[in-house]
Structure 1
Amino acid sequence: MAPRPFWKGYLKLSLVTCPVAMMPAVSESAKVRFHTLNRATGNRVQSVYVDAETEERVDEEDEARAYERGDDDYIVIEDEDLDAVALDSTRTIDIERFVPADSIGWIWYDRAHYLTPDDPVGEEAFSVIRDAMAATGTVAISRLVLYRRERAVMLVPRDRGIVLWTLRYGDEVRDAAAYFSDLGKEQVDGALVKLVGRLIEERTVDWDPKMVEDPVQEKMLEIIAAKRKGRKPPKPAKPLPDGGGKVVSIMDALKRSLAEEKRKR
């Protein structure tokens, strides 16, 4: 059963409009979550805000957002101020332009969402926009208010639906040249590259979601199950051996690695 959408609105391209629904493409509901307890009483601990000067508790209705413009100097931002920003993009994904699908680097991708038509009448318009993007190898760029901020979004056709990615802001992405510009000035030995290529071939397999399973999560569930039944939790895993030995020859290390791969296979 598909989860209920957390956002409903309209997808618009020029004079073509259709109602759509959106839900996050990822979920954290299956993660093991902990509560903080008072060890002495076993009761839950609550988080409360206190005034930094008076040390008195601040009630929720007295909490306010503020922008710091100097030391101990703030501008209070009210809900009306936030609601007044980008009202047109609150409920409408108005496609402004299209760009080649491979022109946006992965580093700009933020959060993924599934976008679907919200009624049978609008499904044809939705499908036409989706199929036209797929046929032209393009993705759509628009803006949308999500998570209380207007964000640039990218619409990518996928299967029978569309994946909507929120994109990072320009000031959030650091210039890679600041980190990589001094690398690669030395000539790389072609023979070493070929050996690594062979090693890559030995280890290349088809993608499987099991590759990104969380072993820590699985261990925590085992510990919780053992404690629930009154048993002792599993013993801690032995620390991995230190692999920090000095490599005298990269060529020798690669040859040994290839021999080891063949032995395993």
Structure 2
Amino acid sequence: MAPRPFWTGHLKLSLVTCAVSMTPATTEAERIRFHTMNQKTGHRVVAQYVDAMTDRPVDDDDLVKGYPCDDEKYVLLEDDELEAVALDSTHTIDIERFVDADEIGWIWYDTPYYLMPDDDVSEEAFAVIRESMRATGIVGIARLVLYRREHAVLLEPRGNGVVVWTLRYGDEVRDPKEYEPQEKTAKAGRQESALLRKLISALTRPWNPDMVQDPVQTRLQAIIDAKKRSRKKKPAKPVAQAEPPAGDNVVNIMDALKASLRSSGKGGKS
């Protein structure tokens, strides 16, 4: 059963408007979650805000946001002050501009959502916007309020729908030049490159979601199931990782590549 949309509103491009709904493209519903418990009573415990100076509980109505200043003082902001700086409309995705799809690097993409027409009347306008972007190879840029925070978003045609990606802000992305290795003299040898391409070919498989399954979740579920049956069971030991080479950690690349090819079952004479 498909989940209910968590956001409904309108998609707007100039004078073209249609009703739309949005659903998260990813889910953590199947992830194992725990409650914090009192071991002595077996009861759940609850968290409570406490004044850091007086140790007295604070009522929900007295909670406000605070921005730290000098001398451990804070500027306090009320909810209505925070809402005043947000977008005027929290229920309209107004496409402001378009860019080539290839111009935005992967690092700017944050969280994906599925966007779809919300009624029969809106299907035609929605399809016109979607197919126009698909035909020209561009994506739309807009702004949207989600979870009481304004986001820059990207709209990308996908199948019969549109994927809305929230984008990271400029100050959230670090300059990759500061972290890329400075290769001045190192060059990839011809033989090493040929062997590595052969190894990559041997390890290439068609994409399957099982490739990114979480083994920790599987082991946790096994422990939980065992406890449900009131049987003690030791957690499965994680697969041992290969130890780094001893000594000065200098490895002959050719030897390592040949060994890797042999272990993949597709090795050959160089």
| TM-score bin, normalised by smaller chain | over 0.9
Tell me which residue corresponds to 1:214. Answer: 214
CA distance in 2, matches of 1:262, 1:239: 21
CA distance in 1, matches of 2:204, 2:21: 38
CA distance in 1, matches of 2:26, 2:72: 39
Tell me which residue corresponds to 2:16. Answer: 16
- Is the partner of 2:265 in helix, strand or coil? helix
Tell me which residue corresponds to 1:81. Answer: 81
CA offsets, 1:90-113, max 9 Å, x none?
111110111111111111111110
On the 8 A contact 2:87/2:150 being kept in 1, the answer is no
AA at the equivalent of 1:260:
S
Matched, 1:259 2:258: no
On the 8 A contact 1:66/1:76 being kept in 2, the answer is yes
CA distance in 1, matches of 2:173, 2:238: 39
Unaligned runs of at least 5 residues, structure 2: none
CA offsets, 1:7-58, max 9 Å, x none?
1111000100001000111111111111111212222121111111111111
Q: 1:164 to 1:185 in 2, by over 3 A?
A: farther
CA distance in 2, matches of 1:133, 1:187: 42
Identity among equivalent positions (%) equals 54
Number of aligned residues: 264
CA distance in 2, matches of 1:148, 1:169: 16
1:69 to partner: Cα distance: 2.5
CA distance in 2, matches of 1:18, 1:48: 44
AA at the equivalent of 1:141:
I
On the 8 A contact 2:17/2:125 being kept in 1, the answer is yes
CA distance in 1, matches of 2:220, 2:197: 38
1:70 to partner: Cα distance: 2.2
AA at the equivalent of 1:212:
V
CA distance in 2, matches of 1:184, 1:8: 53
CA distance in 2, matches of 1:124, 1:158: 16
CA offsets, 1:179-238, max 9 Å, x none?
115246422222212211110011111110111111110111111111001112245316
CA offsets, 1:156-185, max 9 Å, x none?
100100000000011000000001152464
CA distance in 2, matches of 1:263, 1:87: 58
**Alignment RMSD, CA only?**
1.7
AA at the equivalent of 2:263:
E
CA distance in 1, matches of 2:117, 2:234: 48
Q: 1:256 to 1:48 in 2, by over 3 A?
A: same
On the 8 A contact 1:247/1:253 being kept in 2, the answer is no
1:248 to partner: Cα distance: 3.6
1:242 to partner: Cα distance: 4.2
On the 8 A contact 2:108/2:173 being kept in 1, the answer is yes
Matched, 1:228 2:257: no
TM-score between both structures, scaled by the size of structure 2: 0.92
Q: 1:185 to 1:162 in 2, by over 3 A?
A: farther
On the 8 A contact 2:219/2:236 being kept in 1, the answer is no
CA offsets, 1:130-159, max 9 Å, x none?
111111111100111112111100001001
1:249 to 246, 252, 270: 252
Mapping of residues 104-183 of structure 1, within 5 Å = 104-180=104-180, 182-183=182-183
Range 134-143 or range 243-252, more displaced: 243-252
AA at the equivalent of 2:260:
S
Unaligned runs of at least 5 residues, structure 1: none
Matched, 1:56 2:56: yes
AA at the equivalent of 1:68:
P
CA distance in 1, matches of 2:135, 2:164: 18
Matched, 1:200 2:200: yes
On the 8 A contact 2:202/2:266 being kept in 1, the answer is no
